[in-house]
């Protein structure tokens, strides 16, 4: 069973393509974004659970296409014509405005300004029919958008992320630490960043290597201390 990791640590996000790890959990979604010129109706809905990489993928697409980026909840604070003028727009976290008729109306107008001549990428946790949208015209347009889904990071992806994060900090770890952590950590790239930062901070403070014993002790009861001494 995975254990939720909640650390009060800064976790700087690097949303470049070279920092995006491709795996079966995200390869199809990445390919859909790379094919943005062929989106039917000029739009795409990118969905997936928190921590799956929606913001990272959206940032890659925005950087490579010159798209404007706005959170759905912030549409009222922006200038819709200015946003639409970019020709390519990312609207993040569409779920957050579900039930807010004014905010939904703004997204509806932005949709009509951008598509079909431009390109509109919308991110959300759920598919449109499950978001609770109350504006029928917006719901129909969102349901007409092709859907690209990100799954929660799989073991291969989390392993690759941990290996690179440790390597970036020039930390040598036992090979068996990686699968041990993957089996117990929260299923998100953000959790992996926080986990590596926590282990690095405590290892430096104590002047010791990063091991399973250190990981189990730092992460608290129930995180596997009972088997941490097997293959330190």
User: Does residue 101 fall inside a structural domain?
Assistant: yes
Report yes or no: 81 and 68 within 8 Å, Cβ to Cβ.
no
Longest C-alpha distance within the chain, in Å?
61
Quick one: 190 and 140 in the same domain?
no
Q: Looking up tokens 């092709």, which residue turns up? A: 146
Quick one: 204 and 171 in the same domain?
yes
- Between residues 6 and 37, the one the model is more confident about: 37
pLDDT of residue 51: 78
pLDDT of residue 13: 54
Q: Which of 230, 10, 157 is nearest to 216 (CA)?
A: 230
CA distance readout (Å), 111 to 98, 168, 193: 16, 40, 35
> Averaged over 66-92, what is the pLDDT?
95
Torsion sign (Cα): 153, 96, 105, 88: negative
Quick one: 134 and 203 in the same domain?
no
What's the angle, vertex CA 13, arms to CA 90 and CA 213, rounded to 5? 140
> Averaged over 35-43, what is the pLDDT?
97
Contacts of 196 (CB under 8 A, 6+ apart): 162, 165, 166, 169, 171
Local confidence band at 61 (pLDDT 50, 70, 90 cut-offs): very high
Task: Give the whole-number percent of the chain exceeding pLDDT 90.
Answer: 66
> Averaged over 86-104, what is the pLDDT?
96
User: Does residue 21 fall inside a structural domain?
Assistant: no
User: Does residue 112 fall inside a structural domain?
Assistant: yes
Quick one: 169 and 77 in the same domain?
no
pLDDT of residue 92: 97
Is it the case that residue 131 has pLDDT exceeding 50? yes
**Using the 8-state DSSP alphabet, how is residue 36 labeled?**
G
Is it the case that residue 5 has pLDDT exceeding 50? no
Give the separation between CA 66 and CA 211, rounded to whole angstroms. Answer: 43
Is it the case that residue 190 has pLDDT exceeding 50? yes
Quick one: 84 and 45 in the same domain?
yes
> Averaged over 115-128, what is the pLDDT?
96
**Residue 52 is part of which domain span?**
26-149
- Between residues 112 and 189, the one the model is more confident about: 112
Domain count, the chain: 2
pLDDT of residue 181: 94
Q: Supply the mean pLDDT for the chain.
A: 87
Q: What is the CATH number of the domain that holds 59?
A: 3.40.50.300
Is it the case that residue 223 has pLDDT exceeding 70? no
> Averaged over 68-74, what is the pLDDT?
96
Contacts of 128 (CB under 8 A, 6+ apart): 45, 139, 142, 143, 145
pLDDT of residue 42: 97
- Between residues 87 and 13, the one the model is more confident about: 87
Tokens found for residue 119: 């390109």
Q: Which of 150, 104, 109 is nearest to 127 (CA)?
A: 150
Is it the case that residue 22 has pLDDT exceeding 90? no
pLDDT of residue 7: 40
End-to-end CA distance of the chain: 21
Domain boundary among 114, 149, 184: 149
Quick one: 31 and 75 in the same domain?
yes
Report yes or no: 128 and 44 within 8 Å, Cβ to Cβ.
no
pLDDT of residue 12: 47
CA 35 to chain centre: 20
Give the total residue count for the chain.
232
């Amino acid at each position: 069973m995975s254990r939720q990791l909640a650390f009060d640590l800064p976790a700087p996000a690097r949303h470049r393509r070279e920092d995006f790890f491709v795996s079966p959990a995200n390869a199809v979604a990445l390919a859909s974004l790379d094919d943005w010129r062929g989106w039917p109706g000029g739009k795409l809905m990118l969905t997936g659970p928190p921590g799956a990489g929606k913001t990272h993928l959206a940032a890659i697409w925005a950087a490579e296409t010159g798209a404007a980026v706005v959170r759905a909840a912030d549409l009222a604070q922006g200038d819709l014509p200015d946003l639409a003028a970019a020709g390519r727009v990312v609207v993040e976290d569409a779920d957050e405005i579900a039930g807010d008729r004014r905010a939904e109306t703004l997204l509806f107008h932005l949709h009509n300004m951008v598509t079909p001549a431009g390109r509109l990428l919308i991110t959300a946790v759920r598919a449109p029919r499950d978001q609770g949208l109350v504006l029928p015209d917006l719901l129909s347009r969102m349901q007409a958008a092709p859907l690209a889904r990100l799954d929660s990071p799989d073991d291969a992806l989390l392993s690759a992320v941990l290996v690179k994060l440790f390597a970036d900090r020039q930390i040598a770890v036992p090979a068996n630490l990686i699968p041990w952590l993957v089996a117990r950590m929260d299923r998100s790239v953000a959790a992996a960043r926080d986990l590596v930062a926590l282990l690095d901070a405590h290892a430096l403070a104590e002047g010791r290597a990063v091991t399973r014993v250190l990981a189990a002790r730092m992460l608290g009861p129930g995180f596997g201390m009972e088997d941490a001494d097997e293959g330190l």
